[in-house]
Structure 1
Amino acid sequence: MMQSDCLTGPEAHDHRGFSLVEMLVAASIAGLMAAIAAPSFSHLIEQHRMTISSNALMSAFVIARQSAISKNQFVAICAGNVESGCHADWGGGEWLIFTDRNRNGRLDMDESLIQDGSATLGRAVRILANRPMKMPILFHPIGHAEQLNGAFAAGTLRICAASTSSAPGVDLILSKSGQMRAQAHDVGGSCTQP
């Protein structure tokens, strides 16, 4: 008996695509997976932006301190920009680093700008400062941090998520020796003043 290549019955139907039911099930599963992944993804973006911001700020303080030591003169760092000078609001993620020969906390005509920097924050990240960090910080030629009146300067900048997520924040703590260290801070769902 000879076998035929022709199929008859249910096997004869050509399956070239998905049925409507199969497509709806696949779309539902994809939507469910996206809904589950979205909060995790936004949490990762917040963490990434906080890390970038804290690294940029930490580098700015290192640059200010090293500039004071290498130039053998007072160098100031403050929240501000070239247009408005020092304005005490770290929330914009901008800062100035400049030589400050007369130790007045202002960039004067005879002083040089070292850095006009900023951190890309977006709306996801906030930077808050305690009172000592709102004032210009002067780095002594030996590297110590001082206030404008000559007293030692120490303070904290807090970088945290603007949302009410449970993402941990970062505290940048300036010691009187002029060194800055990062420390994780559990914000408990709210970003408060340090």
Structure 2
Amino acid sequence: MEDPHRDHGVPSRRRPGPACRRVCQLGLTVAELLTAVAVSAVLLGLGVPAFSHALVVTRLASTTNQLLLAAVTARQTAASLNVPVTFCAGNAAEGCHGQWPAREWIVFIDRDHDGHVDPEDSVRLSERLPASDDVRLSGNGPFKKAVVFHPSGAAQTANGAFAAGRLRICTTRLGAGNATDLVLIGSGRFEPEARDFAGECPPAS
């Protein structure tokens, strides 16, 4: 009796293993897979620097907006509550220390217009940049002490003098266009001004 499982002279073929079947289903040869990996590595190498650059640009812009919002908040609070409001480099515990390189600032109701957080004053905003952020801050003129907003919206020093100056937001991780100045004019308005220090961060002057 003839064996039904006999192959009748047809050469036997081994079934491809799982790895081979996956490659065959994709229609790729080993050489094509290696080429795809090489191209992916090149694209990744090109993409990482671009992403890093975009991240630094975003941090510079977000910090600028954060500081501008704090200043606008101080000015609007002074007008709405009819009290002097101070914006300065400092923190709730120390008050105004004027050290912008510390990258912290506060906004507080300053009833006696002296640039100090007294017991009767209240802090409305206290912010600090994270340690991982590489943005640098500096300020000149009244920013070295305190900017006090009058209920009229005008910017003054603690002794009541006209206040005008600039607050600089800068990073050394960008080449061109690596800084923005928030220029304070006597009316109390801030005008952003793009600056290019070619990767350097000189203090505001």
Q: TM-score band, normalised by the shorter chain? A: 0.7 to 0.9
Q: Give the drift of 1:121.
A: 7.2
Number of the residue aligned with 2:116: 106
Q: Give the drift of 1:118.
A: 3.6
Q: Give the drift of 1:54.
A: 0.7
CA contact (8 A) 1:56 1:119 kept: no
CA contact (8 A) 2:172 2:199 kept: no
Structure 2: how far apart are the matches of 1:152 and 1:33? 55
Structure 2, gaps ≥5 residues long: 1-19
Number of the residue aligned with 1:70: 80
Q: Give the drift of 1:27.
A: 1.9
Number of the residue aligned with 1:192: 202
The alignment partner of 1:127 has SS state of strand
Q: Give the drift of 1:160.
A: 1.9
Structure 1: how far apart are the matches of 2:91 and 2:99? 10
* C-alpha spacing 1:141/1:97, structure 2 compared with 1 (3 Å): same
Larger Rg: 2
CA contact (8 A) 1:68 1:75 kept: yes
Structure 1, gaps ≥5 residues long: 1-12
Deviates more, 1:84-93 or 1:112-121: 112-121
Q: Give the number of equivalent residue pairs.
A: 182
Q: TM-score, normalised by structure 1?
A: 0.83
Q: Deviations over 1:157-180 (max 9, x none)?
A: 111223253343211111111111
The alignment partner of 1:97 has SS state of strand
Q: Give the drift of 1:59.
A: 0.8
Q: Give the drift of 1:130.
A: 2.1
Q: Give the drift of 1:146.
A: 0.7
* C-alpha spacing 1:122/1:92, structure 2 compared with 1 (3 Å): farther
The alignment partner of 2:106 has SS state of strand
Deviates more, 1:115-124 or 1:87-96: 115-124
Number of the residue aligned with 1:125: 135
2:19 is aligned with 1:28:
no
Code of the residue aligned with 1:126 in structure 2: it is R
Structure 2: how far apart are the matches of 1:148 and 1:62? 18
Q: TM-score, normalised by structure 2?
A: 0.79
Number of the residue aligned with 1:81: 91
Structure 2: how far apart are the matches of 1:144 and 1:125? 28
Sequence identity percentage? 36
